[in-house]
Homo-oligomer: A and B are copies of this chain.
Amino acid sequence: MEKNTEKIKVILADDHVLLRNALGAMVDKFEECRVIHQCGNGKEVIEVIKQGVHPDVIILDLNMPEMDGFEAASWLYKYRPDINILVLTMYDSELSMIRLLGSGVKGFLKKDIHPSELKRAIHSIVQSGFYFTNHNSQKLAHLFHTNTEGSMKLAQLMLTTHEFEFLKLACSDLTYKEIALKMGLPTRSIDTLRDNLFIKLDVESRVGLAMVAMSNGIVSF
Contact = CB atoms under 8 A, between A and B. Distances in A.
A78 interface: no
A30 to B, nearest CB: 12
B208 A16 contact: no
A221 B210 contact: no
Interface stretch (A106-114, A123-131, A147-155, A186-194): A106-114
A90 interface: yes
A19 B210 contact: no
Interface string A1-30: 000000000000001111101110110000
Contacts of A21: 26, 114-115
Contact of A173 (B112, B115, B117, B208): B208
A61 to B, nearest CB: 11
A214 interface: yes
Interface residues of A, number: 36
Most buried by B among A21, A22, A211: A22
Interface of A: 15-19, 21-23, 25-26, 88, 90, 109-115, 117-118, 170-173, 203-208, 210-211, 214-215, 221
Given A16-B110, A17-B111, A18-B114, 5 more contacts: A18-B113, A21-B114, A22-B23, A171-B207, A210-B210
Given A171-B207, A173-B205, A118 B221 contact: no
A172 B215 CA distance: 13
Contact of A17 (B113, B171, B214, B215): B113
Contact of A25 (B17, B26, B205): B26
B112 A17 contact: yes
Contacts of A23: 18-19, 22
Contacts of A215: 214, 221
A173 B203 contact: yes
Contacts of A90: 16
